């Protein structure tokens, strides 16, 4: 079973191929639905692209003018998406302005090919800027998710950098790779940077090439690790399932008091961290498979699907919320934004005002389906089975 290379050998999944060459063939026939989180990320990317494009053409656009507009993928743009896009946009503008304003050398959402890694490898980098004065290439990738991504030896950025080098026919002295991740609160700040050179990128691309070749061939091997987390095959991967079985043995081993020295304690802690990641990956995969079956009308015992909702949000502009609540004698303003609907609701209750008024100005949006324990479903199935068996 050889996968469709054009779909699987992409910069965004290359780090997984480095860790596990088996996933490409394991996932070849799996179609995954786009999550709401991914759709929101696409809308935030759209705001970024619009702003950067206009900046390149010397047109000023207020990023916040996109609020409540509909992105091409149908998602309504929120203030949070704009806040995130602005951090990336400002960093690009600062970088360009500090280097002789070479806007013409800015490349936005350009698709590049990286044949030195794989014949079908191509991808679209968010922003690339080549400073001809210092012979420096800047490559940015905008991440809207929460999970921390490092810029150091980042294979996705490596692809965009090598693709740009090839396309622009340049030989930069240094390459500045930046991940902009405003919604990750790991203490490292919203922008992570790694400065490297062509020799290092060549050495990384060599490793990537070897892994891609192995992934396409008969010796591809499933190797569980942190890269399993986003693998489409987690629910059907025997190697990952086995790693779960190892944990079971580990937990079941007879409890006898043990005194570990410092070194062994750290080793065990790191092992447990690794196990935790593997179990999480497997659990997520199995959960996704149960959801898929339920959506297809299969009666999975004990579980059913329920619509999940976003946090409650105001449905009218901030200024209107503040002035309406002022009329009710409630101060709904924080320094720059209104308080949340729930905070205002509590204030209304304290003033003995009917808090149901909030529902006229706030709402929760459906944002997907969640798996819920459903005892009635199990009872139904047991009843059905007993009827079948007479």
- How many Cβ atoms are within 10 Å of 114's Cβ, its own excluded? 27
**What minimum distance in Å lies between the beta carbon of 281 and ligand SF4?**
6
Taking CB under 6 A as the criterion, the residue among 113, 223, 340, 377 binding ligand SF4 is 223
* Residue (14 or 175) nearer to ligand SF4, CB: 14
Cβ(308)–Cβ(369) below 8 Å: yes
β-pairing, 191-196 with 174-180?
Answer: antiparallel
**What minimum distance in Å lies between the beta carbon of 283 and ligand SF4?**
12
Taking CB under 6 A as the criterion, the residue among 3, 8, 11, 22 binding ligand SF4 is 22
Q: What whole-number distance in Å separates Cα of residue 86 and Cα of residue 48?
A: 7
**What minimum distance in Å lies between the beta carbon of 44 and ligand SF4?**
27
Q: What whole-number distance in Å separates Cα of residue 79 and Cα of residue 68?
A: 8
Reported residue count of the chain is 390
Report if residue 17 touches ligand SF4, rule: CB under 6 A.
no
Taking CB under 6 A as the criterion, the residue among 81, 239, 321, 330 binding ligand SF4 is 239
Report if residue 222 touches ligand SF4, rule: CB under 6 A.
yes
* Residue (121 or 237) nearer to ligand SF4, CB: 237
Q: What whole-number distance in Å separates Cα of residue 290 and Cα of residue 282?
A: 12
**What minimum distance in Å lies between the beta carbon of 25 and ligand SF4?**
9
Select the span of 22-30, 56-64, 144-152, 166-174 touching ligand SF4 (CB under 6 A): 22-30
CA distances to 74, 76, 351, 363 from 340, rounded to whole Å, are 25, 19, 17, 11
Report if residue 228 touches ligand SF4, rule: CB under 6 A.
yes
Report if residue 9 touches ligand SF4, rule: CB under 6 A.
no
Phi and psi at 33, nearest 5°, equal -80, 145
Q: What whole-number distance in Å separates Cα of residue 115 and Cα of residue 233?
A: 26
Report if residue 63 touches ligand SF4, rule: CB under 6 A.
no
Q: What whole-number distance in Å separates Cα of residue 364 and Cα of residue 310?
A: 5
Give residues 280-299 in contact with ligand SF4 (rule: CB under 6 A). Answer: none
Q: State the Cα angle at 389 between 384 and 390, rounded to 5°.
A: 95
Report if residue 20 touches ligand SF4, rule: CB under 6 A.
yes
Where does this chain bind ligand SF4 (CB under 6 A)?
16, 20, 22-23, 26, 222-224, 227-228, 231, 233-234, 237, 239-240
């Amino acid at each position: 079973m050889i996968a469709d290379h054009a779909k699987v050998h992409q910069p965004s999944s290359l780090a997984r191929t480095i860790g596990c060459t088996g996933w490409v063939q394991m996932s070849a026939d799996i179609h995954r639905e786009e999550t709401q989180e991914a759709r929101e990320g696409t809308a935030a990317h759209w705001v970024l692209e619009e702003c950067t494009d206009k900046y390149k053409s010397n047109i000023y656009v207020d990023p916040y003018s996109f609020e409540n507009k509909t992105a091409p993928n149908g998602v309504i743009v929120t203030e949070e998406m704009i806040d995130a896009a602005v951090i990336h946009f400002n960093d690009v503008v600062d970088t360009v302005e500090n280097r002789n304003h070479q806007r013409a050398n800015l490349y936005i959402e350009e698709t590049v090919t990286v044949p030195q890694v794989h014949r079908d490898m191509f991808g679209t980098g968010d922003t690339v800027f080549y400073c001809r004065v210092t012979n420096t290439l800047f490559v940015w990738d905008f991440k809207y998710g929460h999970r921390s991504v490092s810029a150091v030896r980042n294979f996705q950025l490596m692809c965009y950098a090598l693709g740009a080098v090839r396309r622009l026919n340049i030989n930069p002295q240094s390459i500045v790779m930046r991940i902009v991740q405003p919604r990750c609160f790991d203490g490292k700040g919203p922008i992570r940077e790694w400065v490297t050179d062509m020799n290092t990128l060549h050495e990384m691309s060599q490793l990537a090439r070897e892994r891609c070749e192995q992934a396409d061939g008969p010796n591809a091997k499933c190797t569980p690790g942190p890269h399993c987390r986003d693998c489409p095959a987690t629910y059907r991967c025997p190697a990952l399932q086995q790693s779960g079985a190892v944990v079971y043995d580990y937990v079941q081993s007879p409890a006898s008091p043990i005194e570990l020295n410092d070194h062994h304690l750290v080793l065990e802690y790191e092992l447990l961290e690794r196990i935790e990641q593997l179990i999480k990956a497997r659990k997520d995969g199995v959960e996704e498979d149960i959801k898929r079956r339920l959506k297809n009308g299969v009666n999975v015992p004990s579980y059913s699907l329920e619509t999940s909702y976003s946090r409650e949000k105001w449905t009218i502009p901030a200024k209107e919320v503040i002035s309406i609540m002022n009329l009710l004698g409630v101060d709904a303003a924080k320094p720059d934004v209104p308080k949340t609907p729930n905070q205002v609701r509590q204030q209304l209750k304290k003033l003995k005002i009917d808090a149901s008024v909030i529902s006229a100005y706030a709402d929760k949006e459906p944002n997907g389906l969640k798996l819920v324990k459903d005892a009635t479903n199990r009872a139904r199935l047991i009843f059905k089975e007993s009827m079948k068996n007479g």
